[in-house]
Chain A
């Protein structure tokens, strides 16, 4: 069965979606990710969706859900690399993902995560 790999980088988890998302894959990812956050006691999740060309309302909600679940487990989520078409689709679907942090690329996402972690620690 397909799985999306979750990479550990220090206190953070890095998830790069490089295949077309289908619903089962999204549910598996939610499962795996929450488990890993709990197991590794991660403080941040970087979700890279730069290779995602197509989203539907389900995937959109999945992204919002992952962010909320991570927050409950005390980890910040940053979604990075969203394609223009995907951003427009989500807005038109009425899913502006309020409360989800976003960044333009992985590098900026990392900076944002570190800054948030520092702000949380102080």
Chain B
């Protein structure tokens, strides 16, 4: 109780000096990102934060989970979120809080020059407090980064499953990236939906862009093929690279009666044949007359 009151007093009486020192400290530090943050913004953030800390300490509570620190935490949350999105690194973000130690320490030392024991106690409590706030900053920073990753993952899922119409009655699904159960579900749904829309009777799944095929991926592929067949369409798997063919056999995966082809072109030819369409080169004389 007494310790925090002294801290509040020190901050209150030297607020301007502490703020000036702190900002100087931040501007001088190697982790400042002048390219991402304007000095005026930094000043404003520092001023608001110091005022909030002072108000919180004044209330006498050192427990940062308590209601007295709600404002400070709110400020920190906004700050770490903004910095995480702007591309600051974790240490660059945490330095904002941790660099406040130096100016507070020097003020406190000046205040309690004669009383070493009390000075030690005060410094310890300031260190504890700022470390907690620093950790809080990192945590919030990570949280906002994770939410960015989550969002990108969803976007990736949506982007990565285009079903293209190759010809009348033929659709193709070029798969890029690893297949997990989540993706398989979406792939299956989009493919089946497209088959319903277009009334296609043949679907080609091209796995040229799938880096590895393990038993799980093979299982997912077989499920997709089975579901397609239930809808009343045929499925061809194409783009099987030599290594993948070897892996499939070594793993003992049985692709059963699924038609497989080495390249999309071959698969397309088979599909054309099954639908009764043909493609050929124009005859030379016909080409000349055009």
Q: Mark B153-196, 1 if CB is under 8 A from A, else 0.
A: 00000000000000000000000000000000100110011011
Q: Are A102 and B196 within 8 A (Cβ)?
A: no
Question: A33 CA to B226 CA in the complex, in Å?
Answer: 26
Question: Interface code A57-100, partner B: CB below 8 Å = 1, 0 otherwise?
Answer: 00000000000000000000001111110111011100011000
Q: Classify the interface of chain A: helix, strand, loop or mixed.
A: mixed
Shortest distance from the beta carbon of A107 to any chain B beta carbon, whole Å:
9
Contact residues in A for B189 (Cβ distance below 8 Å): 84, 88
A7 proximity list for chain B (CB < 8 A): none
Chain B interface bracket (under 10, 10 to 19, 20 to 34, 35 or more): 10 to 19
- A84, B196: Cβ atoms under 8 Å? yes
| A96 contacts B230, C-beta separation under 8 Å | yes
CB neighbours (8 Å) of B192 from chain A are: 84, 87-88
Closest to A97 in B: B230
Most A CB atoms within 10 A — which of B193, B199, B226, B230? B230
Report the bound CA distance from A104 to B233 in whole Å: 7
Contact mask for chain B residues 227-261; partner A; CB cutoff 8 A; 1 contact, 0 none: 11111110000000000000000000000000000
Q: Is B231 in contact with A82, judged by CB distance below 8 angstroms?
A: yes
Closest to A90 in B: B230
A/B interface sample: 16 pairs, CB < 8 A: A84-B188, A84-B189, A84-B196, A88-B188, A88-B189, A91-B223, A91-B230, A102-B229, A104-B196, A104-B199, A104-B231, A105-B199, A105-B232, A108-B199, A108-B201, A109-B232
